[in-house]
């Protein structure tokens, strides 16, 4: 895993990346509901994800990850945060992580460029999984709310 150094770079700078994510969320006018969430909550979710990225990317952690992001989807539904805003926030996290890595690769030699490309590919798959589980939890919460209203 050539991108391990880059994963460590992200983990050790999680606070700066999380701050960038929150800043972007605050600047995007279409994220009206997410902007209303407590900054401490957004920061904590960023910390859990970014500080433990290597753990999450390792094989065998899928069940824990699924549970955590299905819970987040449920929570966002209960907070009346539209699903598209929740998904957009995951996109922002991925973008800010990759932007941070890009800024910190200094020599741009072939191996570093390959590592960056490998990381991008791994993060693409990883964030696809996060998104699916976030949506799954959100949909489950919506169904429960609808059944409670009708039943």
| 3-27 mean pLDDT | 95
Q: What is the pLDDT of residues 19-69, one digit of tens each?
A: 999 999 999 999 999 999 999 999 999 999 999 999 988 877 888 899 999
**Three-class secondary structure assignment of 36-85:** CCCHHHHHHHHHHHHHCHHHHHCCCCHHHHHHHHHHHHHHHHHCCCCHHH
Question: Angle between the 110-150 and 62-78 helix axes, to the nearest 10 degrees?
Answer: 50
Q: What is the pTM of this model?
A: 0.91
């Amino acid at each position: 895993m050539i991108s391990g150094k880059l994963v460590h770079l992200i983990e050790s700078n999680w606070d700066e990346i999380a701050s960038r994510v929150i800043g972007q969320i605050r600047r995007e006018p279409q994220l009206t509901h997410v902007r209303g969430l407590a900054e401490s909550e957004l920061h904590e979710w960023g910390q859990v994800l970014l500080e433990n990225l290597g753990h999450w990317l390792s094989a065998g952690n899928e069940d824990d990850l699924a549970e955590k992001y299905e819970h987040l989807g449920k929570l966002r539904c209960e907070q009346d945060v539209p699903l598209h805003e929740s998904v957009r926030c995951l996109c922002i996290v991925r973008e800010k992580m990759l932007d941070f890595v890009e800024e910190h690769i200094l020599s741009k030699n072939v191996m570093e460029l390959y590592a960056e490309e490998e990381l991008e590919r791994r993060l693409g798959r990883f964030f696809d999984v996060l998104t699916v589980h976030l949506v799954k939890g959100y949909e489950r919460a919506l169904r429960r709310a609808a059944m409670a209203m009708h039943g």
